[in-house]
Structure 1
Amino acid sequence: MSVPAVRHLTVDAESAHQRLDNFLLRELKGVPKPLIYRIIRSGEVRVNKARARADTRLHPGDDVRLPPVRVPQRSPEAAPAVPARTFPVLYEDEVLLAVDKPAGVAVHGGSGVAFGVIEQLRRAHPQAPLLELVHRLDRETSGVLLIAKKRSALKALQDQFRQRSTGKTYLALVRGVWPAGRKVIDVPLHKYLLPDGERRVRVTDARDPQGQRSISLVRVLGTVQPPPDAPPDAPPMSLLAVTIKTGRTHQIRVHLAHCGHPIAGDDKYGDFEWNRWLSRSGLRRMFLHAWRLSIRHPVRGEELSLQAPLPPELAQWGEVQRFL
Structure 2
Amino acid sequence: MTTTEQSSSPKVQLVEITEEQCDQRLDNFLITFLKGVPKSHIYRIVRKGEVRVNKGRVDVKYRLETGDIVRVPPVRVAEKAPELFVGHHLQDALEQGVLFEDEAFMVINKPAGYAVHGGSGVNSGIIEGLRSIRPNAPFLELVHRLDKDTSGCLLVAKKRSALKKLHTLFREDQVQKTYIALLAGRWERKKLVVNAPLQKNLTQGGERMVFVSKAGKEAETLFRRIKLFADSTLVEAAPKTGRTHQIRVHAATSLGHPIVGDERYGQDETNKTFRSRGFKRMFLHAATLQFQHPVSGALLTVSAPLPQQLDDLITYEEKSL
**TM-score, normalised on structure 1?**
0.72
Pick one of 295, 311, 319 that aligns with 1:315: 311
Alignment partner of 1:112 is 2:121: yes
Residues 58 and 218 of structure 1: CA distance in aligned 2, closer, same or farther (over 3 Å)? farther
Gap regions ≥5 residues in structure 1: 1-11, 32-47, 50-56, 62-73, 226-235
1:76-123 deviations in Å (ceiling 9; x for gaps): 797643457224111011111111011001111002111111111111
Give the Å deviation of 1:195. 2.9
1:173-204 deviations in Å (ceiling 9; x for gaps): 00122232551000000011223433211111
Structure whose CA Rg is larger = 2
Pick one of 236, 245, 250 that aligns with 2:240: 245
2-structure distance, mates of 1:77, 1:130: 17
Gap regions ≥5 residues in structure 2: 1-16, 40-57, 66-77
1-structure distance, mates of 2:260, 2:22: 39
**TM-score, normalised on structure 2?**
0.73
2:23 is matched with 16
Pick one of 238, 259, 262 that aligns with 2:258: 262
1:216 is matched with 221
SS at match of 2:218: coil
Alignment partner of 1:306 is 2:302: yes
Identical-residue share of aligned pairs (%) = 44
Give the Å deviation of 1:321. 9.7
Alignment partner of 1:284 is 2:280: yes
1-structure distance, mates of 2:102, 2:189: 41
SS at match of 1:318: helix
Contact 2:261 2:274 in 1 (8 A): yes
2:270 is matched with 274
Pick one of 171, 179, 191 that aligns with 1:162: 171
Q: Flag the structure with higher helix content.
A: 2
Contact 1:291 1:309 in 2 (8 A): yes
1:127-162 deviations in Å (ceiling 9; x for gaps): 111111111000000000111111111111111000
Contact 1:171 1:289 in 2 (8 A): yes
Contact 2:190 2:225 in 1 (8 A): no
In the TM superposition, structure 1's runs of 4+ consecutive aligned residues that sit over 6 Å from their partners are 25-31, 74-78
Contact 2:196 2:213 in 1 (8 A): yes
Contact 1:83 1:123 in 2 (8 A): no
SS at match of 2:313: coil
2-structure distance, mates of 1:192, 1:87: 37
**What does residue range 86-101 of structure 1 map to in structure 2 within 5 Å?**
86-101=95-110
1:193 is matched with 202
